[in-house]
Amino acid sequence: MRLIPVVFLFAAALLSGCGRHPAAGVWATDQDNAYGIKRLRVGFDGRAEFETTKPEPASWHCFWGATGKYSASLQCRSSAQPEVTRNFVLTVSEPGEGRLQARLMHGAETAAIFVLLDENPTPVVKPFNPE
């Protein structure tokens, strides 16, 4: 029975490091950008999505992972070219005064600069209720 407290303490120590990454959230911009992106949703589940209007309208679906304390890489495919994977990097400003900002880079080009909105990036899906 001495094993149970040890296992519990080990599990608690392991889980205490599992916090929200700063990249997770709903990001928005009101600035014009090369891709025409208005919002970026980075979910807690490792998925992200955004829409572009430039150079052509497309929906982008991505998988993301943390690459640093304030950065994440996104591997994305667009509805316009689903066979091509494009890599983006999202870098979040360190917490300080004001709202968090993030810069989405595609190679050496800034795709967009965002501010964090107070929204859940992984909305709860309501169960089907056939009435």
Higher pLDDT, 25 or 128: 25
**Domain span including residue 69:** 22-117
Tally of helices (H runs) and strands (E runs) in the chain: 1, 8
> Quick check: is 40 in a domain?
yes
pLDDT band at 11; cut points 50, 70, 90: very low
> Quick check: is 94 in a domain?
yes
Read off the pTM: 0.78
> Quick check: is 4 in a domain?
no
> Quick check: is 90 in a domain?
yes
The total domain count for the chain is: 1
pLDDT tens digits for range 54-102 = 988 999 999 999 999 999 999 999 999 999 999 999 999 988 767 889 9
pLDDT tens digits for range 12-55 = 444 445 678 999 999 999 899 999 999 999 999 999 999 999 98
> Quick check: is 129 in a domain?
no
Q: What is the dihedral of CA 11, 15, 17, 20, to 10 degrees?
A: 180
> Quick check: is 131 in a domain?
no
* pLDDT for the residue numbered 109: 96
* pLDDT for the residue numbered 48: 97
